[in-house]
């Protein structure tokens, strides 16, 4: 089972089916596409900032290896390790970019494949209802905070004294 995160616009309301038109499901696993195609994978997913950063990183890393006159076998191993790191972090960078653009992760689901995870995420989103407000809200518009009846444990045991 693989975990996926559901990203929706920030102003989406739970249970709203029209918000699912702009949804994006991001896999939380190693990205083989990013491993093999590095910066091209980022450009394909329209992650321009991360794509240019990876492009600069890959060329700078190759240049450093050439300047240091590293043995070709060691250079190949180092490049594979760099590509492995890119493959591990690619989907995290994708989630970061989506959140930065106002589409935070609103749910996480597990599924055998993307279709199953998408069906689960959409079903959960459509079943969710916005929280209802209390019938008698406080006059100032602030919800009342219930008082604890048990004593406070910690550094300040007398935090709430009865009045």
- Kindly report, residue by residue over 63-117, the tens digit of the pLDDT: 999 999 999 999 999 999 999 999 999 999 999 999 999 999 999 999 999 999 9
**Hey, where are the domains in the chain?**
2-126
Say if residue 153's pLDDT is above 70: no
Q: What is the CA radius of gyration of the chain?
A: 24
Could you give the residue ranges of the DSSP H alpha helices within 19-67? Answer: 32-37, 39-44, 48-67
Tell me, what's the pLDDT at 13?
A: 85
Mean pLDDT for all residues in the chain: 85
pTM of the predicted protein model: 0.70
């Amino acid at each position: 089972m693989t975990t996926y995160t559901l990203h929706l616009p920030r102003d989406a309301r739970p249970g709203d089916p029209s918000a699912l038109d702009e949804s994006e499901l991001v896999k939380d696993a190693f990205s083989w596409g990013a491993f093999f195609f590095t910066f091209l994978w980022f450009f394909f997913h329209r992650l321009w900032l991360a794509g240019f950063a990876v492009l600069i990183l890959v060329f700078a890393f190759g240049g450093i290896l050439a300047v240091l006159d590293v043995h070709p076998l060691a250079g190949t191993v180092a490049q594979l390790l760099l590509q492995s790191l890119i493959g591990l972090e690619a989907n995290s960078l994708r989630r970061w970019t989506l959140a930065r653009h106002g589409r935070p992760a609103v749910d996480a689901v597990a599924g055998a494949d993307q279709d199953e995870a998408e069906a689960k995420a959409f079903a959960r989103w459509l079943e969710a209802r916005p929280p209802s407000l209390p019938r008698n809200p406080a006059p100032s518009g602030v919800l009342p905070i219930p008082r604890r009846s048990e004593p406070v444990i910690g550094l300040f045991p007398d935090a709430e004294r009865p009045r």
